[in-house]
């Protein structure tokens, strides 16, 4: 019999080595998150997945699951904090959703809807970072970057190319291209690279395919992010009193 913890009053079974986030998703319980990706080791940079465990706030994507934990996630105190984080991300970048090719497929936008963010709440910074259209097949809009590091990690850990990196500290931190010229055209990035697939917002875009899927018919137009995240997670299957995890989820 598996060990369990409680999440908002529900019993969550877990496998040894799973985090609170992984176990919750596998059991069909959504915890809002942005920088977490099941193919990479969690590093807790966005803090959207913050929960309260035994009264203490922690990032659920990095917190190892332990028997007997008392975890709170879907409470207004935490959702208010999550709304503030989403508001700050919108204010720090240029996220003009109606004109963005990523609209409807954007994780930040979908989280805003899911958390009922109705206004930015902070003064917009309106960053002015030059676009990089040097590559024949790929466009970079640095103004939308939310510093999740997913493209950095994908390019390094999966593609083995180290095309992207973060530079600077604090408010000056920004995404860069690892080339002497700083131009994407001087790298060996490919449209088939994992780094092309993981950007949650509209920074890395393939050229000449814009709006091929009309707005209104896209991923998060059809179903909210909370439902999509559970669709993508491994499921816990209960048979004959035992519990096993299905590993064939996308």
Each residue's pLDDT, cut to its tens digit, for the chain (250 residues) gives 689 999 999 999 999 999 999 999 999 999 999 999 988 888 888 999 999 998 899 999 999 999 999 999 999 999 999 999 999 999 999 999 999 999 999 999 999 999 999 988 899 999 999 999 999 999 999 999 999 999 999 999 999 999 999 999 988 999 999 999 999 999 999 999 999 999 999 999 999 999 999 999 999 999 999 999 888 877 554 333 333 334 433 3
CATH assignment of 81-217, given 1.20.59.10, 3.50.50.60, 3.40.190.10, 3.30.70.20? 3.30.70.20
The segment(s) of the chain belonging to CATH 3.10.20.740 are 3-74+223-245
Question: Long-range CB contacts (< 8 A, 24+ apart) of 179-182?
Answer: 182/132
C-alpha atoms less than 13 angstroms from C-alpha of 156 in its C-beta half-sphere:
12
Helices (H) and strands (E) in the chain, counts: 6, 11
96 within 8 A of 125, measured Cβ to Cβ: no
Tokens of 43: 């590093």
Give the integer Cα–Cα distance in Å for 106 and 104. 6
Instruction: Give CATH 3.30.70.20 domain extents, the chain.
Output: 81-217
Residue 234: count of CB within 10 angstroms of its CB: 18
Fold observed for domain 3-74+223-245: Ubiquitin-like (UB roll) (3.10.20)
Count CA within 13 A, CB hemisphere, residue 31: 30
Name residues whose C-beta falls within 8 Å of residue 248's C-beta, 6 or more positions apart in sequence: none
- What is the per-residue pLDDT for 235? 56
Which is nearest to 21 in space by CA: 242, 53, 138, 92? 53
Residue closest to 109 by CA, chosen among 222, 247, 221, 244: 221
Model pLDDT, residue 26: 94
């Amino acid at each position: 019999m598996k060990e369990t913890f409680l999440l908002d009053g529900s019993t969550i079974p877990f496998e040894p080595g799973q985090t609170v986030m992984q176990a919750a998703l596998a059991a069909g319980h959504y915890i809002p998150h942005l920088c977490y990706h099941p193919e990479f080791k969690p590093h807790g940079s966005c803090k959207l997945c913050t929960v309260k465990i035994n009264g203490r706030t922690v990032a659920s994507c990095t917190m190892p699951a332990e028997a007997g934990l008392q975890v709170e996630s879907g409470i207004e105190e935490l959702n208010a904090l999550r709304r503030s984080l989403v508001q700050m991300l919108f204010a720090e970048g240029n996220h003009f959703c109606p004109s963005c090719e990523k609209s409807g497929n954007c994780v930040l936008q979908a989280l805003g809807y899911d958390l009922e963010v109705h206004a930015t709440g902070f003064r917009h910074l309106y960053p002015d970072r030059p676009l990089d259209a040097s590559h024949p097949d790929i466009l970079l809009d640095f103004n939308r970057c939310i510093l999740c590091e997913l493209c950095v990690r994908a390019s390094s850990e999966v593609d083995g190319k180290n095309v992207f990196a973060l530079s600077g500290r604090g408010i000056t931190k920004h995404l860069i291209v690892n080339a002497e010229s700083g131009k994407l055209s001087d790298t060996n990035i490919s449209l088939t690279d994992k780094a092309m697939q993981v950007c949650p917002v509209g920074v890395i875009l393939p050229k000449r395919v814009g709006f091929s899927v009309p707005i209104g018919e896209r991923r998060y137009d059809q179903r909210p992010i909370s439902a999509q995240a559970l669709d993508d997670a491994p499921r816990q299957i209960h048979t004959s009193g035992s519990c096993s995890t299905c590993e064939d989820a996308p």
